[in-house]
Amino acid sequence: MTGAADGEAESGAESDAPELRIPRGTLLRSRVVSDVATTLSRALDRGLTGYATLVPQETLLLEGDARGVLTFADGVPVLAYNTVSDRGGPDALAELAVPGPYRVELYAVDDDGLAAAHETDALRVAPGAAATELADDPALADRTREAAPDERLADPEADDADAVAAFLADDDRIEAIREQARAEAAERADEWGLDEALADDGGGDADRRPGR
Amino acid sequence: MVEAFAVASGKGGTGKTTSTLALGMALADEHDVTVVDADTGMANLLFHAGLDDAAVTLHDLLVEGTATDVSAATYDRFGLSVVPCGTSLAGFEAAEPGRLRDVVAELASDTDVLLLDSPAALGSKSAVLPVVLADRVVVVVEPTIPALSDGLKVQEYARSYGTETAGVLFNKVRDDAADVAEQAERHFGGPVLASVPDSDVVREARRAGEPLLAHAPESDAAARYRRAAARLDVRDGDGDAVADRFRSAVVPDTP
């Protein structure tokens, strides 16, 4: 995230792209976490107004890194932004939803410091979406929704399924997951002595199975 | 006639066991169905099927040197033949995963449809074995990115072993995720079998130790599982040939 180190996170070089400008705030924690639930839960429990920067340590086979900013109002996630792709909202959440660990920094910002940024509809995410998609923690998602103000829950612009839809529309990402799984399956088959059970073409031809 | 399905997901908590028993009961209207808890490290089918106190389980069949008959671990419940697995660590440690092949072969010779409730992981030989042995895989996912990622991964592992996708079952679906299933279908090698809603009735069935289709046969969730089973389109096969295939499958006996 280029901006945070300089005092603010900013983005949106293109004129019509949404922009995220937030004050640097006070660093509360800097950690490598295996599970983002730790961070989200901490922010929720202390009713944090501020933001987290998230840098996934695994970037699959995709080019470029994802570096995310997730803002909070009273502990509930509001905006998501990927400073590498310059995408925001559910698209950013989808890009950040990779297996951990993540390097995470958590910052507190004065109450009104984020008010202007939080008006940016295009970057907004549903209250429970980060817990569901980044942390895979349905109980934390429920807890977050319970803590969210009613108007956030009723926001028609922020649907829990939006990030999933963005993920499913990203064919390159899905192909990368599949390629990685195929490579891993072949490697492990060798390790487990199952390599002779592998289909010759790596899939699709059931007649190739041993014994047939 | 026999076809073996692995019911798999790659991550825990998606409702594999609920789905295995629900699909099994729905298929039992037309077929002889045998359900096996192939999740030998984290078994839970026995709790869902009211078999908590089963004296003999799959664990006993997987221990070398024991002459336990497969029929001793097979229980008639809810119109199904159910082979539960024990939950003790000692039982898991003594079990030899490679022997699952022989157990499945024996069961295959005497049933129409075999459903293997598979482990929620891909990190060990015993975890992938059901997917290696099955004819096709039913991938159970929740409409979330982590679950879909893991579901895609299971599908690729299965394909690597020549096991194609019979279909995808969306489980624990909330109202706002209804369109996701449709969008996901093109990434999977089989149709979306059903979208089963997130509902209290499923949790109640689990608490009661009954499969969903026995506990709440009139529920919306039960109706959707029946529809999913109808879409599975079980293939005719020669039971003896399938049994032979399992027996000759190249699975080393030692991990």
Determine contact: A160 vs chain B, CB below 8 A: yes
What's the CA gap between A52 and B47, in Å, rounded? 41
* Tally of domains in chain B: 1
Strands B80-83 and B33-37: parallel
- Per residue in B86-136, pLDDT (tens digit) is 988 888 888 887 788 888 888 988 899 999 999 988 888 888 989 998 999
Cβ distance B61 to B98 under 8 Å? no
User: What is the residue-wise DSSP string for A13-80?
Assistant: -STTS----EE--EEEEEEEES-THHHHHHHHHTT--EEEEEEES--TT-SS---EEEEEETTEEEEE
Q: What is the pLDDT of residue A126?
A: 94
Chain A environment of B183 (Cβ under 8 Å): 165, 168-169
The first and second tokens of residue A8, run together, are 């603010």
Q: Which of B125, B176, B245 sits opposite A160 (nearest CB)?
A: B176
In a domain, B80, yes or no: yes
Cβ distance B32 to B112 under 8 Å? yes
Cβ distance A78 to A51 under 8 Å? no
What's the CA gap between A185 and B152, in Å, rounded? 12
Residues A149 and A198 in one domain: no
What's the CA gap between A71 and A44, in Å, rounded? 12
In a domain, A166, yes or no: no
Chain A environment of B162 (Cβ under 8 Å): 198-199, 203-209
Residues A41 and A139 in one domain: yes
In a domain, A85, yes or no: yes
More confident residue, B35 or A22: B35
What's the CA gap between B156 and B8, in Å, rounded? 12
Cis peptide bond upstream of B255, omega within 30: no
Chain A environment of B155 (Cβ under 8 Å): 178, 181
**pLDDT value at A16 more than 70:** no
Residues A132 and A200 in one domain: no
Q: What is the pLDDT of residue A2?
A: 37
Which chain A residue shows the shortest CA-CA distance from B122?
Answer: A185
What's the CA gap between B238 and B249, in Å, rounded? 16
DSSP helix/strand/coil, B187: helix
B211-214 contact pairs (CB < 8 A, 24+): B211/B18, B211/B21, B211/B22, B211/B24, B211/B25, B211/B48, B211/B49, B211/B78, B212/B18, B212/B21, B212/B22, B213/B21, B213/B22, B213/B25, B213/B26, B213/B78, B214/B25, B214/B78
∠ at Cα B211 (B43, B230), nearest 5°? 105
Residues A34 and A125 in one domain: yes
Question: What average pLDDT does the segment B65-87 reach?
Answer: 90
Cβ distance A75 to A43 under 8 Å? yes
In a domain, B51, yes or no: yes
Residues A142 and A178 in one domain: no
Q: What is the pLDDT of residue B5?
A: 96
Q: Do B13 and A132 touch (CB under 8 A)?
A: no
Residues A153 and A185 in one domain: no
In a domain, B255, yes or no: no
Rg (CA), chain A: 20
Q: Which of A40-49, A85-94, B64-73, B228-237 has the lowest mean pLDDT?
A: B64-73
Cβ distance A71 to A51 under 8 Å? yes
- The pTM assigned to this predicted structure is 0.88
Determine contact: A212 vs chain B, CB below 8 A: yes
In a domain, B193, yes or no: yes
Give percent of chain B above pLDDT 90.
63
∠ at Cα A202 (A198, A204), nearest 5°? 100
In a domain, A68, yes or no: yes
Chain A environment of B160 (Cβ under 8 Å): 182, 185-186, 189, 198-199, 202-203
Q: What is the pLDDT of residue B97?
A: 78
CA distance A8 to chain B (A): 30
Cβ distance B175 to B146 under 8 Å? no
Cβ distance A49 to A147 under 8 Å? no
Among A192, A196, A198, A208, the residue to mutate for chain B (most B Cβ within 10 A): A192
Cβ distance A62 to A126 under 8 Å? no
Give percent of chain B above pLDDT 70.
93
Task: Name the band, by pLDDT with cuts 50, 70 and 90, for residue B1.
Answer: low
Q: What is the pLDDT of residue B189?
A: 87
In a domain, A164, yes or no: no
Q: What is the pLDDT of residue A206?
A: 41
**pLDDT value at B35 more than 90:** yes
Residues A72 and A148 in one domain: yes
In a domain, B199, yes or no: yes
The first and second tokens of residue B78, run together, are 């809810």
Question: What average pLDDT does the segment B43-66 reach?
Answer: 89
Residues A63 and A97 in one domain: yes
In a domain, A132, yes or no: yes
Residue linked to tokens 């817990």: A131
Chain B environment of A97 (Cβ under 8 Å): 145-146, 149
What's the CA gap between B144 and B75, in Å, rounded? 35
Q: Do B246 and A211 touch (CB under 8 A)?
A: yes
Chain B environment of A185 (Cβ under 8 Å): 122, 156-157, 160-161
Question: What average pLDDT does the segment A159-186 reach?
Answer: 92
Domain that residue A43 falls in: 2-159
* Tally of domains in chain A: 2
Residues A113 and A175 in one domain: no
Question: What average pLDDT does the segment A86-97 reach?
Answer: 93
Residues A24 and A106 in one domain: yes
Residues A42 and A71 in one domain: yes
Q: In the A/B pair of chains, how many CB contacts fall below 8 A?
A: 132
Q: Which of B157, B247, B250 sits opposite A181 (nearest CB)?
A: B157
ipTM of the complex: 0.88
CATH number at residue B208: 3.40.50.300
Which chain A residue shows the shortest CA-CA distance from B129?
Answer: A194
Q: Which residues pair with A87 in a beta bridge?
A: A82
Q: Do B144 and A133 touch (CB under 8 A)?
A: yes
In a domain, B253, yes or no: no
Q: Which among A70, A188, A104 is positioned nearest to B129, based on CA atoms?
A: A188
Q: Which of B146, B160, B184 sits opposite A203 (nearest CB)?
A: B160
DSSP helix/strand/coil, B7: strand
- Per residue in A73-87, pLDDT (tens digit) is 999 999 999 998 899
Q: Do A210 and B187 touch (CB under 8 A)?
A: no
Cβ distance B62 to B99 under 8 Å? yes
Q: Do A165 and B159 touch (CB under 8 A)?
A: no
Q: What is the pLDDT of residue A17?
A: 59
Task: Name the band, by pLDDT with cuts 50, 70 and 90, for residue B20.
Answer: very high
Q: Which one of A33-47, A186-200, B118-132 scores highest in mean pLDDT? A: A33-47
Determine contact: B187 vs chain A, CB below 8 A: yes
Task: Name the band, by pLDDT with cuts 50, 70 and 90, for residue A18.
Answer: low
Q: Which of A197, A202, A211 sits opposite B159 (nearest CB)?
A: A202
Domain that residue B236 falls in: 3-248
Q: Which of B148, B184, B249 sits opposite A197 (nearest CB)?
A: B249
Q: Which among B183, B185, B216 is positioned nearest to B199, based on CA atoms?
A: B216
Q: What is the pLDDT of residue B15?
A: 92
Q: What contacts B123, CB < 8 A, 6 or more positions away?
A: none
In a domain, A129, yes or no: yes
